[in-house]
Structure 1
Amino acid sequence: MNNHHSGSGAGASEHGHGHSHSHAHSHGSHNHSHAPKDFGFAFALGTGLNVAFIVIEAIVGFFVNSMALIADAGHNLSDVLGLLLAWGASVLLKRRPTLQYTYGFGSSTILAALANAVLLLVAVGAIALEAIQRLGSTPPVAGGTVIVVAGIGILINGFTAWLFASGRHGDVNIRGAYLHMVADAAISLGVVIVGFAILMTGWNWLDPLVSLAIAAIIVWGTWGLLRDTIRLALQGVPLGISTERVQRRLSELPGVESVHDLHIWPMSTTDTALTCHLVMPGGHPGDAFISEAAKMLHDEFEIRHTTLQFEVGPKAPCGLDQGCMPGRRASATGT
């Protein structure tokens, strides 16, 4: 059985309008099994490898007069900044709440993910602009050198992306870092292909053309990240959670007549909170009810921070447009 904390217990205060209120906050001990994975080592290793590669790529690009390599080094630099943003947010996520930040600093992961998505789009825009300008007059490209350096880039960026692969589905902040590295690996692969094609045909215009195609692919993949992070930043209900289904499950709990003032929002890229009012004419249901309700919300919806307020007076007419949902009286054994 999980441990939960009740703000006021069964002794609810009575008010003139016939309602009694109590607040219950639940933080299940089972949460540790779903705690965000620590990607500190992945961030440190990925950042170090990419900084070293940026220096090498820029130096080689300068000496062989390859604007393609220099431009790619600039793009990689923006990705390192993205990694640092995501890393900093993951560190802040672990800081304990303070008197000023009572929810902690988990929302910084949302801001970092949003900044990462914007950085990706800005970097892609710079690549596309450079490619369009180069279509008119493409300078000679040192195909052999480009192949070697870009091949190293594939290995480094592909390995870094692999470090974040396991967290890309459950955390949009980690997903942003992952997409940065995948985008870099894709660009490096495109550069390798272009290098071989130029060596075989001498068609230097292939370089900017393939760059435009890669930029379009990156935009396609980044758009979903941007959409998801904007949703979280606006405190929208996280994807994968149905508000209607949560309302229905709460209304099916024993003794619940109706549910209203239901709010579900993200506290970070991995944690979700819920508050709602339960109309229970039979009175405060006790700590066991609170524990079971919180466990249900966690197990079925991954909602880890639950606050319930109970009302015992007659309910007002309500519907979904008023933010509440009529429920049915359930049996003592529940449903």
Structure 2
Amino acid sequence: MSLHLDVRGHDHVFLGDAHERNERRTWFVIALTATMMVAEIVAGTIYGSMALIADGWHMATHAAAMLIAALAYLYARKNARNPRFTFGTGKMGDLAGFASAIVLALIALMIAWESFLRLRSPVPIDFPQAIAVAVIGLIINLVSAWLLKDDHQHGHGHSHHEHAHDHHDHQAHSGGSDNNLRAAYVHVLADALTSVLAIEALLAGSIYGWLWLDPAMGLVGALVIARWSWGLIRDAGGVLLDYLSPAEDLPEEIRAAMETNTDRITDLHVWQLGPGHHGAIVSLISSEPKAPSHYREKLAHIHDLSHVTIEVESAI
């Protein structure tokens, strides 16, 4: 994705391979949601339907949540080569994903509270109209989810006691999870879930007169959304705090590639720079120190490493 030149002129572009595609799709989903929002509010006003008007304003909050993701993509792309961002803007998506996860958690709380109130004091429901609105919402959300589905998609070195720098380029990254796109996807998936649960509850309610089933399904939906939110908070927050999950075996790959009878790693730091991009700082001690290019070539097969600093100290 990014091309590193020598230390005097290399850049630090660590955006995901599908960054521009994901940005375009997010804006398209916002346009689709906003169009539906306007149509529902106008139709609700003309035909006197409070259900349509309420769902229209619900779509407005949905579009606002999508806007967090879209603006993060835009900002990260516009500032990708801004030298004030020491390691680029690859983590902007994780910051936006974390913020979106907090919003999602608040939405889960609001749904749970509203459902609790309706369990205590059931309200009359216009079943045919409510089912129609839920079906329309489900269709829009399924289309949005399809658009947002993530298909997953250089070395510095110190020789002896000198601080000479070296880079290696990796054009082919293994992809990496885009937490910004994931947050947008979870938002529409959460909306689709509430629509499915609402349709089931409304159909059963219209047949058997069970008004309590609608808010009960709301509580179930709130719990599922809260669980999704927690997973996103954990993963995006982990990237922001440079946490490397046990499933990521980059440290073991680096040790296996570099350590020999004469070379031993004394300090190793690996962290994510952006989707599919990782940085590493490797300090090793060697009884037979070699040039930075030697150690660079040892890591050339690890495509997720986009920015590597190697410090070599002589054991003698």
| Residue equivalent to 1:332 | none
| Residue equivalent to 2:273 | 267
Percent of aligned pairs with the same residue?
26
Contact 2:44 2:50 in 1 (8 A): yes
Number of aligned pairs? Answer: 287
Mapped partners of 1:89, 1:239: distance in 2: 28
Read off the aligned partner of 1:87 and give its amino acid letter: A
SS at match of 2:310: strand
| Residue equivalent to 1:209 | 216
Mapped partners of 1:73, 1:260: distance in 2: 59
Q: State which drifts further: 180-189 or 167-176.
A: 167-176
Decide which structure has the larger Cα Rg and report it.
1
Equivalent of residue 282 in structure 1, options 269, 280, 288: 288
Equivalent of residue 64 in structure 1, options 45, 49, 65: 49
| Residue equivalent to 2:237 | 230
Instruction: Output one character per residue of 1:177-229: Cα deviation in whole Å (capped at 9) or x when no partner.
Output: 11111111111112222222222122222211111111111122222111111
Indicate how the Cα distance of structure 1 residues 53 and 130 shifts in structure 2: closer, same or farther if over 3 A, else same.
same
Contact 1:257 1:280 in 2 (8 A): yes
SS at match of 1:304: strand
| Residue equivalent to 1:220 | 227
SS at match of 1:266: strand
Mapped partners of 1:180, 1:140: distance in 2: 28
Cα RMSD over matched residues? 3.1
Indicate how the Cα distance of structure 1 residues 64 and 136 shifts in structure 2: closer, same or farther if over 3 A, else same.
farther
Contact 1:117 1:176 in 2 (8 A): yes
| Residue equivalent to 1:36 | 18
Query: What's the offset of the Cα at 1:102?
Result: 3.0
Mapped partners of 1:201, 1:56: distance in 2: 32
Alignment of 1:6-25 (within 5 A): none
Alignment of 1:139-288 (within 5 A): 139-167=123-151, 170-238=177-245, 240-242=247-249, 244-252=251-259, 256-287=262-293
Mapped partners of 1:4, 1:134: distance in 2: 59
Query: What's the offset of the Cα at 1:294?
Result: 3.2
Indicate how the Cα distance of structure 1 residues 202 and 56 shifts in structure 2: closer, same or farther if over 3 A, else same.
farther
| Residue equivalent to 1:16 | none
| Residue equivalent to 2:173 | none
Q: State which drifts further: 54-63 or 228-237.
A: 54-63
Mapped partners of 2:138, 2:262: distance in 1: 57
Equivalent of residue 75 in structure 2, options 87, 92, 113: 92
Mapped partners of 2:89, 2:42: distance in 1: 39
Equivalent of residue 112 in structure 2, options 128, 133, 151: 128
Answer yes or no: is 1:296 the counterpart of 2:278.
no
| Residue equivalent to 2:310 | 308
Mapped partners of 2:18, 2:313: distance in 1: 35
Mapped partners of 1:92, 1:161: distance in 2: 23
* Structure 1: tracts of 5 or more residues without a match: 9-24, 315-335
Query: What's the offset of the Cα at 1:305?
Result: 1.6
| Residue equivalent to 1:79 | 62
Mapped partners of 1:73, 1:224: distance in 2: 28
Q: State which drifts further: 72-81 or 271-280.
A: 72-81
Indicate how the Cα distance of structure 1 residues 256 and 274 shifts in structure 2: closer, same or farther if over 3 A, else same.
farther
| Residue equivalent to 2:92 | 108
Query: What's the offset of the Cα at 1:104?
Result: 2.1
Mapped partners of 1:75, 1:256: distance in 2: 64
Indicate how the Cα distance of structure 1 residues 229 and 286 shifts in structure 2: closer, same or farther if over 3 A, else same.
closer
Read off the aligned partner of 2:287 and give its amino acid letter: P
Read off the aligned partner of 1:85 and give its amino acid letter: I
Contact 2:258 2:295 in 1 (8 A): no
Mapped partners of 1:120, 1:108: distance in 2: 18
SS at match of 2:35: helix
Mapped partners of 2:36, 2:246: distance in 1: 36
Mapped partners of 1:280, 1:26: distance in 2: 30
Instruction: Output one character per residue of 1:57-96: Cα deviation in whole Å (capped at 9) or x when no partner.
Output: 4566673344x972x5555433322211111222233333
Instruction: Output one character per residue of 1:87-110: Cα deviation in whole Å (capped at 9) or x when no partner.
Output: 122223333322322322222111
